[in-house]
């Protein structure tokens, strides 16, 4: 900065005003400083600035599987919102492993990020306690597991219940469900929604019609094979996330089960290219990018108002009504209306 000031013929304080935007400077003076910056190759020292201002203008985001299309969309939303707010984004993948999650969150804290957005693992207790004790501003996203923090995620229960209702309205009485990894809030809520949908339409809950798929492709494949081997004979299947539905479809194909003729299929969680499947997949699409952008807004508000009570927000997913559910003639609106019909409603033609 001393070299820039000498080259521009101004004070070091004036250079600071131009670089940091802390005070108005005459346009001619600003131009001289900017030209001197170019000539000298000056680059602000972000670490020194962070120490001086007690802020790094950076935030961290930790997700459990960056390869999952949902989390890719979430990160895209966070990245755009952070960029718009002038924040640098640091990304880490916990691989859904509690110990790794703790380490990457600790690493982000050591880098003095201003706050953290976290999609928690199935066992996040140690990480969350550490964040709470350190006073790190934190927003939990997707998996809502601790009311000590601001949280934002999709609406899971009613959406899954409406898929049950949609199949019930089509005349199905044996509706199976592949649930996600045990311990995850999303898995718990979607299973609760499945049970709510059954009860709403007068259908009994049968444990043999539920199989856990570990929230990944191989788990979905194994869960579907388990359902078929158990002789459960479902006529419709709901899968709890987009990774598991890929595995389930592989098992259906390997077993020679035709969708939707032998088994109707729907998923909570859409994925890119689902409209190109044969048949195209009916699924609830989560507003991943909107969730990410809103998480940044919540974090910024927490940074500005650290003493306010934690907030919880839910965003409703959107039904992408395609042909795997067995009713190609319906619009998405008609499908949603059918899914909430009374339990004694007549099956659709």
Asked if residue 118 lies in contact with residue 127, where contact means CB atoms within 8 angstroms, the answer is yes
Q: List, in sequence order, every beta strand (DSSP E) within 64-141.
A: 88-93, 115-118, 138-141
Confidence of residue 348 (pLDDT cuts 50, 70, 90): very low
- Mean pLDDT over 89-113 rounds to 94
Q: Which two tokens stand for residue 122?
A: 């199935």
Going from the C-alpha of 81 to that of each of 38, 291, 306, the distances in angstroms are: 29, 11, 20
Position 47 scores a pLDDT of: 52
Q: pLDDT tens digits for 233-246?
A: 899 999 999 999 99
CA distance 243 to 2: 56
Indicate if the pLDDT at residue 313 is higher than 70.
yes
Confidence of residue 213 (pLDDT cuts 50, 70, 90): very high
The secondary structure of residue 345, as a DSSP letter, is P
Q: At what angle do helices 69-84 and 288-304 cross, to 10 degrees?
A: 40
**Would you call 173 exposed, middle or buried from its count of C-beta atoms within 10 A (0-12, 13-18, 19+)?**
middle
Asked if residue 142 lies in contact with residue 331, where contact means CB atoms within 8 angstroms, the answer is no
Confidence of residue 37 (pLDDT cuts 50, 70, 90): confident
* Lowest-confidence pick of 5-9, 76-80, 294-298: 5-9
List beta partners, residue 58: 88
* Lowest-confidence pick of 39-48, 112-121, 339-348: 339-348
Position 56 scores a pLDDT of: 78
Q: pLDDT tens digits for 13-26?
A: 898 888 777 788 88
- Mean pLDDT over 199-211 rounds to 96
* Lowest-confidence pick of 41-55, 280-294, 321-335: 41-55
Domains for the chain: give ranges and CATH numbers. 2-44 (1.10.260.40), 56-154+288-315 (3.40.50.2300), 157-285+317-339 (3.40.50.2300)
- Mean pLDDT over 40-55 rounds to 61
Q: Which two tokens stand for residue 211?
A: 């199989």
Indicate if the pLDDT at residue 347 is higher than 90.
no
Indicate if the pLDDT at residue 327 is higher than 90.
no
Position 17 scores a pLDDT of: 84
Confidence of residue 343 (pLDDT cuts 50, 70, 90): very low
Phi, psi of 70 (to 5 degrees): -60, -45
**Is the preceding omega at residue 279 within 30 degrees of 0, hence cis?**
yes
Q: By percentage, how much of the chain surpasses pLDDT 70?
A: 90
Q: Which two tokens stand for residue 269?
A: 């969680």
- Mean pLDDT over 291-298 rounds to 97
Indicate if the pLDDT at residue 342 is higher than 50.
no
Position 42 scores a pLDDT of: 73
**Would you call 229 exposed, middle or buried from its count of C-beta atoms within 10 A (0-12, 13-18, 19+)?**
exposed
Position 48 scores a pLDDT of: 55
End-to-end CA distance of the chain: 76
Residue 115 neighbours by CB under 8 Å, 6+ apart: 59, 60, 136, 137, 138, 139, 299, 302, 303
Residue with the larger pLDDT of the pair 348 and 184: 184
Q: Angle at CA 216, nearest 5°, toward 214 and 221?
A: 85
Q: List, in sequence order, every beta strand (DSSP E) within the chain.
A: 58-63, 88-93, 115-118, 138-141, 150-154, 175-179, 210-212, 236-239, 264-268, 282-285, 312-315, 318-320
Q: Could you identify the residue written with the tokens 């949280």?
A: 151
Asked if residue 349 lies in contact with residue 169, where contact means CB atoms within 8 angstroms, the answer is no
Q: By percentage, how much of the chain surpasses pLDDT 90?
A: 71
Position 135 scores a pLDDT of: 94
Distance of CA 114 to the CA centre of its chain: 21
- Mean pLDDT over 111-138 rounds to 94
Tell me the DSSP string of 299-336.
HHHHHH-TTSPP-EEEE--EEE--STTS-TT--HHHHH
- Mean pLDDT over 196-200 rounds to 98
CA distance 178 to 187: 10
Q: pLDDT tens digits for 103-121?
A: 999 999 998 999 999 999 9
Position 349 scores a pLDDT of: 30
Helices first, then strands: H and E counts in the chain: 13, 12
Q: Angle at CA 343, nearest 5°, toward 284 and 261?
A: 55
The secondary structure of residue 216, as a DSSP letter, is S
- Mean pLDDT over 274-284 rounds to 93
- Mean pLDDT over 187-211 rounds to 97
């Amino acid at each position: 900065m001393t070299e820039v000031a000498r080259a521009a013929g101004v004070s070091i304080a004036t250079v600071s005003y131009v670089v940091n935007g802390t005070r108005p400077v005459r346009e001619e003076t600003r131009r001289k400083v900017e030209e001197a910056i170019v000539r000298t190759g000056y680059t602000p020292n972000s670490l020194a600035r962070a120490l001086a201002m007690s802020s790094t203008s950076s935030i961290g985001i930790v997700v459990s599987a960056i390869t999952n299309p949902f989390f890719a969309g979430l990160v895209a939303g966070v990245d755009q919102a952070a960029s718009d707010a002038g924040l640098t984004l640091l990304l880490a993948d916990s691989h859904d492993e509690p110990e790794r999650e703790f380490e990457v969150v600790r690493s982000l804290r050591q880098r003095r990020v201003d706050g953290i957005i976290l999609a928690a693992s199935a066992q996040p207790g140690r990480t969350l306690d550490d964040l709470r004790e350190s006073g790190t501003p934190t927003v939990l996203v997707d998996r809502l597991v601790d009311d000590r923090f601001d949280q934002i995620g999709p609406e899971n229960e009613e959406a899954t219940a409406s898929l049950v209702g949609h199949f019930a309205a089509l005349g199905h009485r044996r509706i199976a469900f592949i649930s996600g990894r045990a311990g995850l809030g999303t898995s718990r809520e979607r299973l609760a929604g499945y049970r709510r949908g059954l009860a709403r339409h007068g259908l009994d809950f049968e444990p043999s019609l539920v199989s856990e798929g570990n929230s990944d492709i191989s788990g979905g494949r194994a869960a579907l094979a388990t359902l078929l081997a158990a002789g459960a004979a479902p006529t419709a299947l709901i899968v709890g996330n987009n990774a598991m539905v890929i595995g389930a479809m592989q098992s259906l194909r390997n077993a020679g089960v035709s969708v939707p003729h032998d088994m109707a299929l729907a998923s909570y969680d859409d994925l890119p290219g689902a409209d190109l499947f044969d048949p195209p997949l009916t699924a609830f699409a989560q507003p991943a990018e909107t969730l990410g952008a809103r998480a940044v807004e919540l974090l910024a508000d927490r940074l500005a108002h650290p003493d306010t009570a934690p907030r919880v927000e839910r965003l409703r997913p959107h039904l992408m009504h395609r042909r795997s559910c067995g009713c190609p003639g319906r619009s998405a609106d008609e499908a949603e209306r059918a899914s909430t019909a009374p339990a004694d409603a007549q099956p659709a033609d």
